[in-house]
Structures are given as C-alpha cells and as structure tokens.
Structure 1
Amino acid sequence: MRFWKKLERYKANDFVRAVSVLVGGTAVAQIIMLCLLPLLTRLYTPEDFSVLSVYLALLSVISVAATLRFELAIPIPEDDVDAINVLFLAVASSALSATLIALVIYFFSVHLSLLFGRPNLQYYLWVLPVGIFFSGCYSALQFWAGRKKRFSDIAKTKVQQAFGAASVQILIGFFSSSPLGLILGQTINNGAGAVGLANKSYLVDKSALSSLRLHRMKELFKKYDRFPKYSMLEGLANNAAIQVPVIIIASLAVGPEAGYLLLAMQLMQAPIGLVGGAVSQVYLSKAPEIQRAGQLSNFTLDTLLGLVKVGIIPLVVAGAMAPFAFPIIFGEQWHRAGVIVLYMVPWIAVQLLASPISMALHVTNNQPIAMCLQFCGLLLRVGAVAISAWWFPSRLTEVYAVTGFVFYTVYLIVVMKVTQVRIWDLLCRVKYIVSVAVTLFLLGVVYVARERFF
C-alpha cells in the first residue's frame, strides 16, 4: 500500500515526471548506441577512434560557443515573444560560427591536421562546420521545447538521433575502413535531433514566428549580454578543459591511447547524458520560478539526493567491472579502455552531481563565478596533462582522470555554497551509499594493480 502511495506521489510531481520522460528517451538512445558499440569496435580500429576523438573534441569545444550561449536565456523571459527572439539569436549565432569555421578549414585543413598529430584528419574536417551548425541549433531548440514543457518531443529526438547515427556508422563501416563513418554518424546524430525539433516547433508555434523582430533581437542581445560575456567563456573553458587534453593525448601518447580514452568516455558519459542531462534541462526550466519563490536551496538539495540515490552505485559497479568485461565485450584489443573506465569513476560520479545543479549559477546571475571556475579547471586539466607529457607520457590518461575529479569536486562545493545547501546535510543523508561506492571502487583498483604487477 505504501509503495502505491509513493508511486502516485511521484506521478503527481511535475519535476519527476519531466525527468522520467527525458530519461526514458535518452535511455533508449543510449541503449541503442551501447548495444552497437561491440560491433563498431570490430568494424573500426582504435586508430579510427583516435581520429574521431580529435574531431569530437573540436566539435564539442566550438559548438558550445557557437550559439554565444543564448540558449541558456530561452527559459528566462516571462513571455514567449522575447523567448522566440532569443531562440533565433542562438540559431543565427550558430550559423555565423559555422561559416567562419568553414573558411578556416578551407584554408588551413592540412596545417590543423598536422598540428593535431593526425595527418588523415584533413580529409574529414569538411564535416565539422555542418556538425557545429546542427549542434548549436539542436541545443537552442531543446531549451525552447523545455520552456514549452514538450519533454516528450525532446525524448523522441534522442531516439531518432541514435537510429540515424547507428545506421550510418554501421553501413559505412561494412564498406569502408576509415573513420568517415564514425564522423558522419556523429553529425547525423545532431542533425536528426535539430530537424525533428524544428519541424515540431514550426507546426505548433508557427504563430509565434510573427513576433520576430530584428530590433527586438538587438535589445535582447544587450539585455542578456551576460551570456556571451560570461556563460560563453565558461562553456568554452569547460569543454576545452575536457577536450583539449584529449587532443594532447592523441598528439603525444604512444599508440591509439586517444581511441581507448574515447571509448571509455563514451561509456562513462552515458550516465551524464542519461540522468544528468535530463535533470539539468528540467532543473533549468523550473529553477527561475523556484528561485523567485525563495525555495532554490531545498530544490537543489532534493535534486542532489535524487542523483546520488539513482546514479552513483550503478556507475561505480559498472566501472569496477570494466577491466573484466571490456576484453569480452569489445575484443581483446580494447582491454586498456576498461582500465581507463575504472580510473574515471570518481571524476564521472562527482560530475554527475555537479553538472545538473551548475545551472543554478546562471539562474542566480553568478555567471562570473561560473566563468572563473571553468577557467581554473581549464588551467588545471590542460596544464597537468601538458606538464605530465614531459615526465609521465605513459600516464597522461590517469592524470586527466584525477584532475577531472578534483575540478568537479571544487565546482560542486561552490554551487552548493551559492544555493545555500549545507554539505554536511547532504553527506549525512547519503553516507551509506557513499561508503558502498568507495569500497567497490577500491576493490576494482586493487584488482587492476594486482593484474599489472603480478
């Protein structure tokens, strides 16, 4: 009886229901991609994944700045007239950014490929501007759909993305031994989602298009200039802190280390995309209203508790099993990727908590704090990997994982301070979960150490 009462209470909770819809769609998409990874690791080599890692690093860093971060401002205006003008600001900025990158690639593709240590990358860089445009559009349209509470539409596009990407990667992989299939698949991934959301928004919100005014866009650009001034630099620093070390590893590490790292990151970032991404979108869609009601602290604490209870133990169990499971699932040549997954567990666990509630810094107009945090993270992570390349070239990935854990721990503490969530209150309520998680992780580390030295 108690179970059914609790279930009804969850169903009545708008936040939980919205998260469930997004998680459901993202879960289907993630399952599709994860189930196909064992096939992709046999169709493509670790070297192919290394080329893909550099392409994705460039796409991630550039696309986050392509919209000037105006997508984060879409949920904030009280009326839809201003919101749709902000949406088109983001889309126009994305188109301009993609055009500029296309010009750079046209003139300097060979030089860029040599700089990144992957000479054959020059044959695939032409895809990058297309990927940047679709990525920016999809991000902006997601926030518009979130504002309109159309979370089921976002969930559907996640599945469309997975089917499109998987189909392209498998089809090309059977007929071509090159990274092109992997790269085109990632581009289709963003493209399918953007087209799907744009079509739905046009059909439902067609009347809102009459509210578009160039002079109003200029006014809103000035009103929300904190986003290009601070949030864009913050997002750029955040993605650069994650992706620039990958480029360094691809350029300097011996063998296809970047390919192993990419596979590990794709698997470990799945919980971030599955749970963290969904919670983040819903958190931002509700946080402005809750902030105005003076309840942001309780809302943030409840969000953190839910993330710990749902995500931490499965994440740690998967990480601890990775060194055993990877050679079986993906092939013997991918054993190193399983070890990397284990080392990444503390980093990804803390990121899973910090990333969704980081939106509180935007809601509370603390964009300068967010920007400073991300730049400190950029210096820490890139600096540590670059310096380690001189003395520990075979341990760059381990250094990268440790700096990720340090950065997101500091970030989580700062956001909790801003939202007035007491760290001790959180720890007291999740102490048993944390104890089990730490024990499982240490057992995995002991196994890897014994395997290495004995």
Structure 2
Amino acid sequence: MRQALARWLRAGSFARHVGVLTSGTVFAQGLAVLALPLLTRLYSPEDFSLLAVYVAIIGIMTVVSCLRYNIAIPLPEDDADGLALLTIALIAALVVSALLALPTLLVPSLTAALLGHPMLAPYLWMVPVGVLLASTYNALQYWSSRKKRFGLITRTRIARAVGGVGTQVAIGAAAASPFGLVFGHMLYGGLGVVGLLRDLLRQDRQVLHELTAARIVEQSRTYRRFPIWSVPEALFNTAGVQLPVILIAALAAGPEAGFLMLAMRVMGLPMGLIGSSVAQVFIAEAPAKHRDGKLSIFTRQMMWALFRAGAPPLVLVGLVSPFLFPIVFGAEWARAGWLVAWMTPWFVLQFVASPVSSALHVTGHVAVAMVLQAFGLFVRVGPVIIAACTASDVVSETYAVTGALFYALYLAIILVLIK
C-alpha cells in the first residue's frame, strides 16, 4: 500500500496523508465488519444494549477529559508549545478519570441505577479505565498528527482493531456475556498508546528538553478558550449523540438500544473509513491554510469531495439494509436494518460536516460552535424524551430525524462562517 501511494500521490500532499491513514483504517474497519455477523450470533441484542450504554458513557467523558487541550496540539508553530499542550491534556485526563473512579468503584449499584441500567453495575469499574486509555491515545494521536506521522497512527489503528475485536470474539466464544463486549471495547480504546508514546520519546527528545513548567502554564493560558468554550461545545455535541442512547436504553422496552447501536455502527463505517482520516489530516493542515488565507476554499473542496465519496455508499446501505440485516446478522436483528434506512440522511450530512468542523476552532469561532452544539443537544434530546413517553415504538426513528436536522444546520453555519 505504501508503494502504491508513493507511486500515485505526491509525498507530503493532503491526499497522500489521507491515503496513508485510510489504508490502515480500511483494514481495521474491514475487520470490524467481518466480526459483526459473528458477534451478533455470540451476543444477544440485550448484551449489545448494555454495551451501548457503556460506549455512550465513555464517549461523553472521553471527549472532554483532556479539557479539549488535545485539539489545540497541532495549532502552535513551536513544537515545544504543542508538547506543553499534550502534557496539559494528559494531566487533565488523569484527573478526570480519577474523579470518575469515585462513584463507579464506591457505589456501582447506585450509579448504574441512576443511569437506568442496573445490569451495568458489575462493569462500571471499566469506565474510568476506559476513559483514561482512550483519552491518552487521543491526545498522543494529535501529537503524531502534528508531526505528520500518519503511518504510525495507521499501525496503531490496526492494532486497536485486532486487539479489541479479537478479545470480544474470544470471550464470546468461550462464555458469552456482556463482559466480553465491554472489556473488548475498553481494550480497543487504549491499544496503541505504547506505540505512540514510545515514538514520542524516541524521536522528540530535543523537544522534551524544552518542556518546562513555565511553558505549560503559559500555554494553558494562551489556549484557555478551549476549556472555557470547547469543553461545553464537545460535551453538548457528544451528549446530543450519546445521551439519547442512554435514555432509549432506560425508557424503551426490550433491547431497542442494542438495535440502535448496531445500526449506528454499520452507518458509521464510512466515517470510520474515510471521514476520521480526513478529519485527522484536516486539523493538521487547516492552521497553515488559514494563515495563508486559503481555508475557505480548502474546506469547501473537502466538503464536496466527502459528499461524492460518502453519499452513494451510505444511500445504498440505507436502501438494502432492511432486507439484508436478517440474513447477515440473524433474524432477531431485523429491526436494526429498518433503523439504518431512517438514519441515512443523518449520516450523509454528518459525513460531510464532521471532518471539517474543526474549521470553526481554527478561525476562532469556538463560542459559536459551543452555542450550536448546545442547540443541537436540545433539538436531539427533547424529541427523544417526548417520543419515549408518548410513542416509544418510534423513539429511535425520532432520534434519526433530529440527527439529520441538526447536521443540516451545522453544515450551513460552517459554510457561512469560513468565508
């Protein structure tokens, strides 16, 4: 794959970087796709429902655990300043994880009951561990993106997929229980940390010598707008996606959250294959484009390329899923296939908007991004609560429609503000 990329794509180009990340991600996501039909036969929809709650909690906490200093790592011109931001992010992740350990370890039954899912209590100890592992990997990945070590990131993504999926399959085959799903996901979040950290210590020793307490304090102040504005923004954004899943698991009858999770995982594959790679390279390239006055053109080009790459396969998946899901995943998963059809507009718009959403941070519109995500939380959670109380049989469909409405608005605002 490297030889093919070297032959066809110019070294150092945006397309080359995306290609390097995507090549490994294709393997990782392909492994996840191949494992899904096996996992749905090893584990029940109820097991996936419990996993959905765990993933929702991890998703909400991980995105804010670094106080968003992680996304600022590529922004400074000086590498020593970027490393100071990485240090701040890792310290914040450690503190947040320690705080999470208090309720999950001391009163797990009460915590699980408050979440509306008492069966989660034996697995809550994995929440602080999972948040720490995933947050550390995320912060180190931004440093590697800054240094344009996309081949290294690709290798760690492959390791994560093999380790996480392999653990879920192995435990499920030995003794199927929710533990296998949750434990495998926890490992997935942290696998790759050692490789990224070892590379930093080996290649960036000179920069490490320039790291001082004074520089760390200085950078925490310089980029204080990120914890002030971007933490609420990220919390609103992730809660808008994950909080409805927790509510559906608690309020809807049966394994509805499990069906919803499988549908979201299938529809999220193009985002995992291409969108995440584009986002990783975009945040590394965008600051320089902004300084050169070319960010608007660059962002619009990325949006159009994402639409052409993502819309056709997503629409196709939405059309065939109601008929293929019972065959591929088993008859009991037919409901998930219909949910995929409902989610198609949402994921097409998200596929275009999410990878370039960091343009709002690069241009200094952090407060606008926060207000937008707060509005999105209200738009997405409110209708789900109403549907759960009045028409629980369409609560997931309601969630899908609100997702499409929110990302349509998000896309429009990005286009306006980057002019």
Task: Specify the TM-score bucket, using the shorter chain as the normaliser.
Answer: over 0.9
Task: Spell out the pairing of 1:2-401 with structure 2 (5 A cutoff).
Answer: 10-11=9-10, 14-401=13-400
CA distance in 2, matches of 1:128, 1:206: 33
Over residues 365-391 of structure 1, what are the superposed CA-to-partner deviations in whole Å (9 max), with x where a residue is unaligned? 100000000000001111110111221
Distance change in 2, residues 1:9/1:26 (3 Å) = closer
Give the percent of matched residue pairs that are identical in Structure 1 and Structure 2: 43
Q: Amino acid of the residue matched to residue 378 of structure 2?
A: L
What's the CA shift for 1:215? 2.1
Over residues 264-288 of structure 1, what are the superposed CA-to-partner deviations in whole Å (9 max), with x where a residue is unaligned? 1111111112211111111110111
What's the CA shift for 1:418? 0.8
Over residues 118-143 of structure 1, what are the superposed CA-to-partner deviations in whole Å (9 max), with x where a residue is unaligned? 21200000011111011111111111
**Pairs aligned (count):** 414
Q: Amino acid of the residue matched to residue 314 of structure 1?
A: P
Q: Amino acid of the residue matched to residue 262 of structure 1?
A: M
CA distance in 2, matches of 1:273, 1:198: 23
Over residues 139-187 of structure 1, what are the superposed CA-to-partner deviations in whole Å (9 max), with x where a residue is unaligned? 1111100110100111111100000001211111122231111111111
Q: Amino acid of the residue matched to residue 145 of structure 1?
A: S
Over residues 380-436 of structure 1, what are the superposed CA-to-partner deviations in whole Å (9 max), with x where a residue is unaligned? 11111011122111111000000000000000000010112xxxxxxxxxxxxxxxx
Q: Which stretch shifts more, 185-194 or 391-400?
A: 185-194
Over residues 79-136 of structure 1, what are the superposed CA-to-partner deviations in whole Å (9 max), with x where a residue is unaligned? 1111111101101110111000001212331112112232120000001111101111
What's the CA shift for 1:16? 0.5
CA distance in 2, matches of 1:143, 1:12: 20
CA distance in 2, matches of 1:348, 1:389: 22
Q: Which stretch shifts more, 110-119 or 255-264?
A: 110-119
Q: Which stretch shifts more, 197-206 or 367-376?
A: 197-206
List runs of 5+ in structure 2 lacking aligned partners: 1-5
CA distance in 1, matches of 2:208, 2:121: 40
What's the CA shift for 1:44? 0.5
User: What TM-score does the superposition give when structure 2 sets the normalisation length?
Assistant: 0.97
CA distance in 2, matches of 1:405, 1:327: 25
Q: Amino acid of the residue matched to residue 374 of structure 2?
A: F
- Provide the alpha-carbon RMSD of the alignment: 1.3
Q: Which stretch shifts more, 300-309 or 345-354?
A: 300-309
Instruction: Report the equivalent of 1:440.
Output: none
Distance change in 2, residues 1:32/1:8 (3 Å) = closer
CA contact (8 A) 1:116 1:250 kept: no
CA distance in 1, matches of 2:204, 2:309: 35
CA distance in 2, matches of 1:264, 1:298: 34
Q: Amino acid of the residue matched to residue 14 of structure 1?
A: S
Instruction: Report the equivalent of 2:402.
Output: 403
Q: Secondary structure at the match of 1:254?
A: coil
CA contact (8 A) 2:270 2:314 kept: yes
Q: Amino acid of the residue matched to residue 67 of structure 2?
A: L
What's the CA shift for 1:8? 7.3
CA contact (8 A) 2:105 2:124 kept: no
